[in-house]
């Protein structure tokens, strides 16, 4: 069936808008990447003087390297803890028939749904009241609260797809609860947990709004970047920005490859 | 093992996590909102002075209303651009459809700080936007209108949060059964009629829910206003943030945060209601 002129012109308008949207979303990113390699000054862009010198300079910047170290420690620890907690809560909700399930889930999801400033300052006041000094540990706890929701959601969805008969069969054959978890549930849960963990790592790596309130004198990479930005623009910041973007995109690509496009989980 | 005691014990264990990480901290800042500061020391109290301070001061009210308007505009722009784009991509066929979707939501995973930085370098006096407008002859000379004012906050937030609107709209469209659009076509409706009579009504609740979640995300942003908003670009989030920094009035900041929390909770409730209507 041939499309009418009106339908075709609507398609062109929509297509044009889509192209513009891509330009708006990606031009800023591309420009930063280009200017981290190519020097610019008042006379314009010096395309022939492209170099990786700003990346080299970053390697000698101890404050940036320290921030990277803190960011990685926070990310790995908080994601490991949050994954274990998410699995435990999901198992409880799905297999033990949780009491007050809706309320329990609301509070798991809340830090993710709320504006992050609320999560950040509520934890700040909480830790302050408990006399816990701010630092790497408090940042990690904040990230656990934040990423727990997403891990819980992914793990629970997968758990719900495991037929109950498999667990009953395992119990009938004399397996203890632990054996049933290790031999029956975990092998099916693993890929969802790993996908969720990578996704959580991506969030933790970039998190700024909650982290700011919990950091004290500690600096993570986004906070360091924010500090550098307040001073102004420099090719060094562009280089760091490009690296951060590269890491985020790599992690996101891993998640995308593990999830199929419709959002359900792929079988291993 | 499945006795009542062990059930309670398991519940206590599972509930202790959200209790320690979420309920107690939120309860804590509710309590602090009734405290006060005297001589730079936070003193426990049971005063409504912080709330009265908000209600009595025009400046806070106006900032609150401005912020709501700003976030509504961000969500509105999100729908205005995000809906047609999602619709266009949804109607594509084959691998390109999901590749384009992936590229549209990829910016979700990019660092917020980085996105603000790149937007700032685009909107500035020597930025790409000005260079482009002067080059094409639309402007005679670079304009300072794009950075360090309220418009800049709107442009930056709308750009950064656009993927947050696109994803839920696309997922809503995906949930419309193919049989419905086919039936509409079989009954002789053109693409336009099918859109207005079938696709749009079915996707409206999900679209509204997505926009409301974006609204809440924009509500708490305290970094964008500070980085691109200039001296007059105060939003409610930035005001709360400043109470925990230089202003050092945690109880007042907590009271403002309670107001934001309750408002956000109401909006999320509305979004959940919309999302439930979708199914």
Q: Is the pLDDT of residue A254 over 90?
A: no
Residue A7: which of B32, B162, B191 has the nearest Cβ? B191
The pLDDT, as a whole number, for residue B274 is 84
The pLDDT, as a whole number, for residue A42 is 60
pLDDT-based confidence at A260, cuts 50/70/90? Answer: low
Determine the residue of chain A that is closest to B107 in CA distance: A25
The distance of A149 to chain B (nearest Cα, Å) reads 10
The pLDDT, as a whole number, for residue A245 is 87
Residue A92 has which token pair? 């409880």
Interface test with A, best of B18, B104, B189 (most A CBs within 10 A): B18
A53 or A74: which leads in pLDDT = A74
Determine the residue of chain B that is closest to A198 in CA distance: B109
Provide the percentage of residues in chain A whose pLDDT is more than 90.
45
Beta strands at A40-41 and A44-45: parallel, antiparallel or unpaired:
antiparallel
Residue by residue, DSSP assigns B242-262 as HHTTTT--HHHHHHHHHHHHH
Angular region, A174: left φ>0, alpha ψ -120 to 50, beta rest: left
Assign domain B48-278 to a CATH class: mainly alpha
pLDDT-based confidence at B252, cuts 50/70/90? Answer: very high
**Cβ neighbours of residue B221 under 8 Å, at least 6 residues apart?**
A115, A117, A209, B157, B235, B237
The pLDDT, as a whole number, for residue A263 is 44
pLDDT-based confidence at A39, cuts 50/70/90? Answer: confident
Residue A225: which of B21, B87, B113 has the nearest Cβ? B113
Residue A183 has which token pair? 């031999």
Per-domain boundaries in chain A: 5-49, 61-258
Residue A43 has which token pair? 């006379």
Q: Is the pLDDT of residue B58 over 50?
A: yes
- Kindly tell me the burial class for residue A240, based on how many C-beta atoms sit within 10 Å of its own C-beta (0-12, 13-18, 19 or more): buried
3-class SS at A238?
A: helix
State the average pLDDT for chain B: 89
The interface predicted TM-score (ipTM) is 0.89
- CA nearest B208: which of B263, B149, B168? B168
Residue A156 has which token pair? 């629970």
Q: Return d(Cα A131, Cα A145) in angstroms, integer.
A: 19
State the average pLDDT for chain A: 86
Is the separation of the CB atoms in A155 and A87 below 8 Å?
yes
Q: What is the mean pLDDT of residues A199-206?
A: 92
Q: Return d(Cα B5, Cα B43) in angstroms, integer.
A: 41
Q: Return d(Cα B35, Cα B51) in angstroms, integer.
A: 11
Q: What digits encode the pLDDT tens for the residues B65-102?
A: 999 999 999 999 999 999 999 999 999 988 888 889 88
Neighbours of A100 (CB within 10 A): 12
**Cβ neighbours of residue B103 under 8 Å, at least 6 residues apart?**
A22
Q: What is the mean pLDDT of residues B25-40?
A: 90
Chain B partners within 8 Å of A13 (Cβ) = 84
Is the separation of the CB atoms in A159 and A166 below 8 Å?
no
Residue B42 has which token pair? 């936070």
pLDDT-based confidence at A17, cuts 50/70/90? Answer: very high
Number of H helices, E strands in chain B: 14, 2
HSE-CB at B263 with a 13 A cutoff on CA atoms is: 21
Q: Is the pLDDT of residue A232 over 80?
A: no
pLDDT-based confidence at A102, cuts 50/70/90? Answer: confident
- A residues 21-80 lying closer than 8 A (beta carbon) to B: 21-22, 24-29, 31-32, 35
Angular region, B128: left φ>0, alpha ψ -120 to 50, beta rest: alpha
Q: Return d(Cα A223, Cα A205) in angstroms, integer.
A: 11
Is the separation of the CB atoms in B153 and B74 below 8 Å?
no
- CA nearest A244: which of A221, A215, A210, A211? A221
Q: What digits encode the pLDDT tens for the residues A135-151?
A: 999 999 999 999 999 99
Q: What digits encode the pLDDT tens for the residues A77-93?
A: 999 999 999 999 998 88
Chain B partners within 8 Å of A122 (Cβ) = 25-26, 28-29, 257
pLDDT-based confidence at A268, cuts 50/70/90? Answer: very low
Chain A partners within 8 Å of B109 (Cβ) = 202, 206, 248-249, 251-252, 255
Identify the DSSP state of A2. P
Put simply, the answer to whether B159 touches A244 (Cβ < 8 Å) is: no
Per-domain boundaries in chain B: 48-278
- CA nearest B70: which of B256, B235, B250? B235
- CA nearest A122: which of A102, A99, A142? A142
User: What's the CATH superfamily of A61-258?
Assistant: MetI-like (1.10.3720.10)
Q: Is the pLDDT of residue A40 over 80?
A: no
A119 or A229: which leads in pLDDT = A119
Q: Return d(Cα B265, Cα A98) in angstroms, integer.
A: 24
Residue A95 at interface with chain B, using a CB cutoff of 8 Å: no
Identify the DSSP state of B107. G
Put simply, the answer to whether B21 touches A145 (Cβ < 8 Å) is: yes
Q: Return d(Cα A26, Cα B119) in angstroms, integer.
A: 11
Q: Return d(Cα B10, Cα B261) in angstroms, integer.
A: 30
The pLDDT, as a whole number, for residue B107 is 87
- Phi, psi (5° rounding) for residue B111? -55, 130
The distance of B199 to chain A (nearest Cα, Å) reads 16
The pLDDT, as a whole number, for residue A262 is 46
Q: Return d(Cα A101, Cα A106) in angstroms, integer.
A: 9
Identify the DSSP state of B197. I
Q: Return d(Cα B99, Cα B83) in angstroms, integer.
A: 18
Provide the percentage of residues in chain B whose pLDDT is more than 70.
98
Put simply, the answer to whether A229 touches B227 (Cβ < 8 Å) is: yes
pLDDT-based confidence at B13, cuts 50/70/90? Answer: confident
Put simply, the answer to whether B122 touches A3 (Cβ < 8 Å) is: no
Residue A196 has which token pair? 């969720």
Q: Is the pLDDT of residue B222 over 90?
A: yes
Q: Is the pLDDT of residue A161 over 60?
A: yes
Put simply, the answer to whether B117 touches A225 (Cβ < 8 Å) is: yes
Q: What is the mean pLDDT of residues A120-145?
A: 94
pLDDT-based confidence at A266, cuts 50/70/90? Answer: very low
The distance of A96 to chain B (nearest Cα, Å) reads 8
- CA nearest B102: which of A253, A197, A113? A253
Q: Return d(Cα A267, Cα B18) in angstroms, integer.
A: 30
Identify the DSSP state of A133. P
């Amino acid at each position: 069936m041939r499309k009418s002129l009106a339908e075709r012109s609507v398609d062109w308008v929509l297509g044009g808008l889509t192209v513009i949207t891509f330009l708006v979303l990606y031009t800023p990113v591309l420009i930063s990447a280009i200017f981290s390699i190519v020097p610019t000054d008042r006379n314009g862009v010096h395309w022939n003087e492209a170099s990786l010198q700003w990346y080299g300079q970053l390697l000698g910047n101890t404050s940036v390297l320290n921030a990277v170290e803190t960011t990685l420690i926070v990310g790995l620890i908080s994601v490991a803890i949050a994954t274990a907690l998410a699995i435990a809560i999901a198992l409880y909700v799905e297999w033990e028939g949780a009491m007050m399930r809706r309320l329990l889930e609301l509070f798991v999801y809340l830090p993710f749904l709320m504006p992050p400033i609320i999560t950040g300052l509520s934890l700040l006041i909480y830790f302050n009241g408990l006399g816990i000094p701010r630092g790497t540990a408090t940042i990690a706890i904040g990230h656990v609260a934040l990423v727990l929701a997403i891990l819980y959601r992914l793990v629970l969805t997968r758990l719900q797809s495991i037929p109950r008969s498999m667990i009953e069969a395992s119990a009938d054959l004399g397996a203890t609860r632990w054996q049933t978890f290790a031999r029956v549930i975990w092998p099916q849960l693993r890929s969802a947990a790993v996908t969720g963990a990578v996704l959580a790592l991506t969030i933790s790596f970039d998190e700024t709004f909650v982290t700011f309130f919990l950091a004290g004198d500690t600096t993570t990479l986004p906070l360091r970047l924010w500090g550098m930005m307040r001073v102004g623009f420099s090719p060094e910041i562009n280089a760091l920005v490009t690296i951060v973007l590269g890491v985020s995109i790599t992690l996101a690509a891993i998640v995308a490859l593990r999830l199929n496009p419709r959002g359900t989980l792929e079988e291993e | 093992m499945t006795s009542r005691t062990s059930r309670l014990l398991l519940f206590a264990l599972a509930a202790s996590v959200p209790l320690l990480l979420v309920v107690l901290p939120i309860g804590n800042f509710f309590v602090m909102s009734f405290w006060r500061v005297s001589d730079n020391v936070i003193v426990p109290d049971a005063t409504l002075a912080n709330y009265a301070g908000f209600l009595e001061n025009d400046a806070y009210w106006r900032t609150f209303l401005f912020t709501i308007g700003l976030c509504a505009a961000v969500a509105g722009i999100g729908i205005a651009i995000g809906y047609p784009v999602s619709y266009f991509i949804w109607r594509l066929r084959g691998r390109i459809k999901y590749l384009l979707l992936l590229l549209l939501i990829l910016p979700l995973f990019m660092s917020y700080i980085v996105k603000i930085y790149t937007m700032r370098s685009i909107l500035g006096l020597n930025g790409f936007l000005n260079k482009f407008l002067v080059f094409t002859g639309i402007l005679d000379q670079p304009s300072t209108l794009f950075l360090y004012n309220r418009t800049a906050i709107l442009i930056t937030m709308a750009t950064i949060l656009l993927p947050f609107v696109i994803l839920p709209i696309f997922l809503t469209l995906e949930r419309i059964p193919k049989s419905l659009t086919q039936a509409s076509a079989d009954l002789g409706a053109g693409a336009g009629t099918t859109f207005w009579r079938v696709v749009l009504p079915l996707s409206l609740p999900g679209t509204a829910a997505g926009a409301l979640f974006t609204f809440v995300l924009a509500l708490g942003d305290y970094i964008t206003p500070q980085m691109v908003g200039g001296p007059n670009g105060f939003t409610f989030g930035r005001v709360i943030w400043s109470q925990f920094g230089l202003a050092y009035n945690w109880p007042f900041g907590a009271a403002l945060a309670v107001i934001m929390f309750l408002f956000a909770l109401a909006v999320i409730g509305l979004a959940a209601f919309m999302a439930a209507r979708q199914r």
